[in-house]
Amino acid sequence: MQGKILNIQRCSIHNGPGIRTTVFFKGCPMTCLWCHNPESQSFKNEVMYDQEKCVQCQSCITACSNNCINFEAGKIKTNLDRCSFCENCIDYCLSGSRELVGRDISARNLVDELLKDSEFFKNSNGGVTLSGGEALSQGYFTIEVAKLLKKRGISVALDTCGFVNSEQLEEISQYIDIFLYDIKIIDPEKHREFTGVDNKLIFENLQLLNHLGSRIFIRIPVIDGVNTSEGEIHGILDLIDGMDIEKISLLPYHEIGRHKYDKLDLNFKNKTMKVPGKIVIENIKKIFEKKYIVEIGG
């Protein structure tokens, strides 16, 4: 069974307990405006282009036998509709301005790759985190990866946006030790506006996992001007009331991934999004701390 991943990040300490190896799957059903990994959204391979590094030598144009690449208004443009992802243009680009994002891999090869870090997992109570994009968008491929890891005694976490097939979520839950479950916006209209999808399924799937007795950590991206109002915070408290939630992680919005939009030739649409100040974060933390273990980051 083949799937598509972006990359494998080793020695990560922010995606679950202990030392973890995180696999970023390619493709996401959501299009969050704040997304700092926009290269993870498309289910297809892409070529990223860094204009700042480009010396305009035009070698990539000559290297492309599919005529995908043009030089327009001082910038290299790539037509991905014709691209075979042969990587010739990347090999010919001596400035390192071009980068292929996305690679196909079988479940078995991916697991073999992840098992190389077993010693780190054992010594730190860590494991593998399946992240993205949305890992479970690749349904049975991801289930197979989780199953193979579990068989080898590896602890597996799934970092999910929750907008996934409920039957597949239930099936994978038997192989998942911890769910890192994102709650973004309570107001349904605002949720659609900022993420491109409705939040009803996300909330239903959270209830499903709670009902199944899964270990759940909630993750909330905190974006000033979007989900920092009292109504939003109390809405989250109402949603998780009565659920067995082990921990809440507040993830302050940042603009580190902003340059990636240029590299993908995408428009960064900032509506009302602001980086939250320390006071905003601390106030939200205090509210959740009355009932839950709360951490900033993670």
CB nearer to ligand SF4: pick between 28 and 220: 28
For the four alpha carbons of 44, 105, 136 and 259, in that order, the dihedral sign comes to negative
Nearer to ligand SF4, 56 or 270 (CB): 56
Task: For the CB of residue 236, give the shortest distance to ligand SF4 in the complex, in Å.
Answer: 17
Shortest CB 45 distance to ligand SF4, Å: 9
Q: What are the φ/ψ torsions at residue 10 (nearest 5 degrees)?
A: -95, 165
Query: With contact defined as beta carbons under 8 Å apart, do 23 and 114 qualify?
Result: yes
Residue 114, token pair as written in the block: 């992840």
For ligand SF4, the closer CB: 40 or 117:
40
> Judged by CB, which is closer to ligand SF4: 35, or 156?
35
Shortest Å distance, C-beta 263 to ligand SF4: 11
Name the residues that contact ligand SF4, by CB under 6 A: 28, 30-32, 35, 37, 40-41, 47, 54-60, 63-64, 66, 68-69, 76, 78, 83-89, 92-93, 95, 97-98, 132-134, 161
Q: Give the nearest distance from C-beta 288 to ligand SF4 in angstroms.
A: 21
In the complex, the smallest distance separating the C-beta of residue 194 from ligand SF4, rounded to whole angstroms, is 9
Instruction: Report the residue number, 83 or 176, with the smaller CB distance to ligand SF4.
Output: 83
Q: How far is the CB of 286 from ligand SF4 (least distance, A)?
A: 26
Full 3-state SS string of the chain: CEEEEEEEEEEECCCCCCCEEEEEECCCCCCCCCCCCHHHCCCCCEEEECCCCCCCCCHHHHHCCCCCEEEECCEEEECHHHCCCCCHHHHHCCCCCEEEECEEEEHHHHHHHHHCCHHHHHHHCCEEEEECCCHHHHHHHHHHHHHHHHHCCCCEEEEECCCCCHHHHHHHHCCCCEEEEECCCCCHHHHHHHHCCCCHHHHHHHHHHHHCCCCEEEEEEECECCCCCHHHHHHHHHHHCCCCEEEEEEEECCCHHHHHHHHCCCCCCCCCCECCCHHHHHHHHHHHHCCCCEEECC
Measured from the CB atom, the residue of 154 and 197 that comes closer to ligand SF4 is 197
Cβ proximity to ligand SF4: between 11 and 57 the closer is 57
Q: How far is the CB of 64 from ligand SF4 (least distance, A)?
A: 3
Give the nearest distance from C-beta 59 to ligand SF4 in angstroms: 4
Q: Which is nearer to ligand SF4, 41 or 199 (CB)?
A: 41
Sign of CA dihedral 81, 87, 93, 96: positive
